[in-house]
Amino acid sequence: MPETERYRKVDLHSHSVCSDGRLTPTELVDLAVEQQVSLFSLTDHDSIAGLEEARQRAQQKGLVFINGVELSTQWKGIPLHMVALDFDLDNHILQQLVANNQQVRMGRARSIADLLIKKGLPDLFDEAVERAGKSQIGRPHFASLLVEKGFVKDANKAFDRYLGNKHLGKLRDVWPELETVLSALADQNMALVLAHPKRYPLTVTKLKRLLADFKQWGGNGMEVASGNERPDHVRLLERLSVEFGLKASVGSDYHGPFGPWMQVGKYTQIHETSVQLVWQNWH
Ligand code: AMP
Ligand code: MN
Ligand code: MN
Ligand code: MN
């Protein structure tokens, strides 16, 4: 890692109203500028709808903007997120993967509503769809309804009691296989980054198996710092990034001024000087 990069404020993971974030792409870019970010990407869940707006605003504000998306996938039955960065908006293969995941999201929302009905709750499907509006529907939309209707006291409790992976059963397996997604994108000239590797229920041994698969199937990067991760976890991820030849990415995973989310541009700092940075050869 060149010394000049060490102090540069880079944020390659964030969300807008196009998925489950609170700010519009324009507001998000303005916030990034205010926070003195110099290289920024919007990475909504299964949506590229906000990228044009974000790019336009970034151009007005003199912020270097990178196209991004956080794709939902699965590996050995575990839901897993990967971030694709620095692609062309008209990439048809990526567009198709995104469109497919959007269909999966709608079907899954119906199934989540059914799951909640089985637990004695009313049918929340229509309200969740209405709440999501143009944004990609996900569990956070159900969570906020559960809070508003007084079934739980906050979103965290909603996940704890109703929506967390442990409650989802078969609904964990709706996403396309990681191998399928990576193989489709491997030769498409973009960064393919495993998102927040320490947020999955994996031992270090199993995580290493995942990283080996990720690399073998065409992945080329991994996040080493994402939000307010424990510093010792970041140190481990830095080492793994070097060991597996996966370039390091960083981001806040900002969703808005609520919940556990970090401010735009903020995450546990990386230290290891031998890591290759995913953005090193971009601009
Ligand atoms: P989905 O994309 O439908 O699988 O929903 C996952 C999203 O829910 C994540 O991207 C987070 O933004 C949010 N989320 C996950 N766990 C929690 C939690 N415990 N409390 C609040 N939000 C959460
Ligand atoms: Mn989210
Ligand atoms: Mn994620
Ligand atoms: Mn995210």
Closest ligand to the CA of 251: 4
User: Among residues of the chain, what percentage have pLDDT more than 90?
Assistant: 92
- Taking the C-alpha atoms of residue 114 and residue 123, their distance in angstroms, rounded to an integer, is 7
Q: Is 34 helix (H, G, I), strand (E, B) or coil?
A: helix
The amino acid that residue 6 corresponds to is: R
Identify the CATH class of 5-98+177-251.
alpha beta
- Taking the C-alpha atoms of residue 67 and residue 136, their distance in angstroms, rounded to an integer, is 17
- Ligand 4 mean position, distance from CA 4 (Å): 27
Mean pLDDT to the nearest integer, 86-113: 98
Surface-to-core class of residue 281, CB atoms within 10 Å of its CB (0-12 exposed, 13-18 middle, 19+ buried):
exposed
Topology of domain 100-173, per CATH?
Answer: DNA polymerase; domain 1 (1.10.150)
- Ligand 2 mean position, distance from CA 45 (Å): 7
Instruction: Specify the residue with its C-alpha closest to ligand 1, atom 14.
Output: 140
pLDDT digits (tens, 9 = 90+) for 163-218: 999 999 889 899 999 999 999 999 999 999 999 999 999 999 999 999 999 999 99
Ligand 1: residue of 20, 105, 157, 200 to mutate (most ligand atoms within 8 A of CB) is 20
- Taking the C-alpha atoms of residue 220 and residue 62, their distance in angstroms, rounded to an integer, is 28
Q: What angle do CA 216, 222, 226 make, to 5 degrees?
A: 160
pLDDT digits (tens, 9 = 90+) for 208-267: 999 999 999 999 999 999 999 999 999 999 999 999 999 999 999 999 998 889 999 999
Instruction: Specify the residue with its C-alpha closest to ligand 1, atom 9.
Output: 140
For residue 32, count other CB atoms closer than 10 A to its CB. Answer: 28
Mean pLDDT to the nearest integer, 134-147: 97
Q: How far is residue 144 from each of residues 86, 117, 157, measured CA to CA in Å?
A: 32, 16, 11
| pLDDT for res 2 | 66
Q: Which residues sit with their C-beta closer than 6 Å to ligand 1? A: 20, 45, 138-140, 155-156, 159, 255, 259
| Alpha-helical segments (H) within the chain | 3-6, 25-34, 51-61, 92-118, 125-132, 139-148, 155-158, 165-168, 178-185, 204-216, 231-244
User: Any idea where the domains of the chain sit in the sequence?
Assistant: 5-98+177-251, 100-173
Mean pLDDT to the nearest integer, 77-82: 97
pLDDT at 7 over 70: no
Instruction: Specify the residue with its C-alpha closest to ligand 1, atom 8.
Output: 140
* 70 pLDDT tier (thresholds 50, 70, 90): very high
Closest ligand to the CA of 161: 1
Instruction: Specify the residue with its C-alpha closest to ligand 1, atom 11.
Output: 140
Cβ 13 vs Cβ 195: under 8 Å: yes
| pLDDT for res 62 | 97
- Ligand 4 mean position, distance from CA 223 (Å): 11
Considering the chain, what is the average pLDDT of its residues? 96
Cβ 28 vs Cβ 68: under 8 Å: no
User: Among residues of the chain, what percentage have pLDDT more than 70?
Assistant: 97
| pLDDT for res 258 | 87
| pLDDT for res 44 | 98
